[in-house]
Amino acid sequence: MKKYIIFNWKCNPETLVKAKQLFKSTTKVSFKDFEAVICPPFPYIGQLKAMGFKLKIGAQNCFYEPRVGPFTGEVSPMILKNMGCKYVILGHSERKRVFNETEETINKKLKAVLSVGVQPILFFGELVLMTKIGAEKEIIRQLEAILRGIDKKFLTRILFVYEPAFSVSTQGGKLLSSEEVEEKQIFIKKHLNNKFNFKPVVLYGGSVEGNNIKNYLKETNINGVVIGQASINLKKLERVVKALSWLRYL
């Protein structure tokens, strides 16, 4: 199975010129053995899509109504699909922290995205450092709330992303070792398999950059990574590109 590389640009960069520069720099890697997805801010999606590279384009958020309507300021999953977006990020910890997004809201967005055929990149993870047992209980609580009412036939379409908020570079960036992440992925996969009888795809996000990406991708149970800050800084992106170029998957 191909491993996923998701580039989350967050609210960056400030100009289309810089966005195109980042996009071109990212395409220096041959992603033949990866499923690579770039998630830029909404205004850049169409422009980057028109550049013609083979990288998939995703969005960073959407509204919880699947289709168009009187929802000023929102972007529906159907609009994203018609723009060529194959993926959309849901439930990122920054959405929870800054916009007070709840599991109930994420659940509604998840249902909307699945209903139009866009593939969700679903984030979850503990918000603060916890004991092993505490973290596992919190992960189960979040997953059960977010997946409530989701038809089991849709679960295989979801890309699950374990990203504890304390590991995000903008929120302290406490780095988890690849072994620690591997242990969590095994727990998450076992829980989802026991609960819903399917084999989930689970990625990791949290301060992933050029000097550690190889460690994460070499672990069997880590099905890919999400790269945040390191995907929007040209020097850091160059290190990521170099690291990916040397991986045995290419």
Residues labelled catalytic:
92, 163
Give the number of other CB atoms < 10 A from CB of residue 126.
Answer: 22
Distance between CA 234 and CA 119 in Å, rounded?
28
Q: For 39, what's the count of Cα atoms within 13 Å in the CB-facing half-sphere?
A: 26
DSSP of the chain: -PEEEEEE--S--SSHHHHHHHHHHHTTS--TTEEEEEE--GGGHHHHHTT--SSEEEES---SSSS-SS-TT---HHHHHHTT--EEEE--HHHHHHH---HHHHHHHHHHHHHHTPEEEEEE--SS---HHHHHHHHHHHHHHHTTT--GGGGGG-EEEE--GGGSGGGT--PPPHHHHHHHHHHHHHHHHHHHSS--EEEEESS--TTTHHHHHTSTT--EEEE-GGGTSHHHHHHHHHHHHHSTT-
Distance CA 163, CA 60 (A): 15
